[in-house]
Amino acid sequence: MQTKQLSFRATVLREDSEWVAHCLDLDIVATGPTPETAMDELAGAVGTQLWYAREHENFEHFFRPAPAEAWLKLGEILAGPHKTLVRPIDDSDHGVDRDVVNLEAQLAA
């Protein structure tokens, strides 16, 4: 059986004194003092949401896209120089291989 990989799209933007990572596919937000820390926090939050959805068999509320303006911001970032950050979603404690679910974010350079 072939394993399918699931990836979620995100942006990482500086807002005032902190970095904000926003998972656009799930409309989940996390912050941190660096882009990498914000991404780590977001990966943890997505992993928690995934675990909850699986535990309660409630995927209909799991996929909730971000508002249109967040997707437009992704388009602006992709149109210019940018960097991609990737984090695995570690749900191995609940039977999900850490190479199966990833969070991929675009950061304006």
Instruction: For 34-82, write each residue's pLDDT tens digit.
Output: 999 999 999 999 988 888 888 898 888 888 999 999 999 999 999 999 9
Report whether pLDDT(28) > 70.
yes
Q: How far apart are CA 99 and CA 20, in angstroms?
A: 24
Query: Which residue ranges form the domains of the chain, and what is each CATH number?
Result: 6-108 (3.30.160)
Q: Using CA atoms, how far apart are residues 23 and 50, in angstroms rounded to an integer? A: 13
What SS3 class is residue 61? coil
Q: Report whether pLDDT(13) > 80.
A: yes
Q: What is the value of pTM for the model shown?
A: 0.86
What beta strand segments (E) does 6-109 contain? 6-15, 18-23, 28-32, 82-88, 101-108
Q: What are the φ and ψ backbone dihedral angles of 97, each rounded to 5 degrees?
A: -65, 135
